[in-house]
Amino acid sequence: MAWAVLVVSGVLEAVWATALGRSQGLHRPVPTVVFAVALVASMAGLAYAMRSLPTGTAYAVWVGIGATGTVAWAMLTGAEPVSLVRVLLLLGIVGCVVGLKVVH
């Protein structure tokens, strides 16, 4: 259960990071609300997962999922350029996250 919550929390990290970028310094109300709600839910999920997973592993997985999701979404929406090297580097992050789960 902790791993499932951690994955959802990592996805929510990508949501709040994207919303923060679109809030224009917390001046646009809708992205600001999305940011706040996703941030609280993401942190709560991370805290829950850390009750049964090692802190370093949980945090690395959470950040890896969030960072990969944020960049992938930006590339899908055209906000950031897509290149083979960028995709391969993101796949490397995903591989490392999966590796942390496998060796746990």
Domain boundaries of the chain, sorted by first residue = 2-103
pLDDT by residue (tens digit) across 13-22?
999 999 999 9
Give yes or no for a contact between 45 and 52, defined as CB atoms under 8 angstroms apart: no
Residue 20 pLDDT? 98
**Token pair 């310094």: residue:** 25
DSSP per position, 17-78: HHHHHHTTTTTSHHHHHHHHHHHHHHHHHHHHHTTTS-HHHHHHHHHHHHHHHHHHHHHHTT
Residue 35 pLDDT? 98
Reported pTM: 0.92
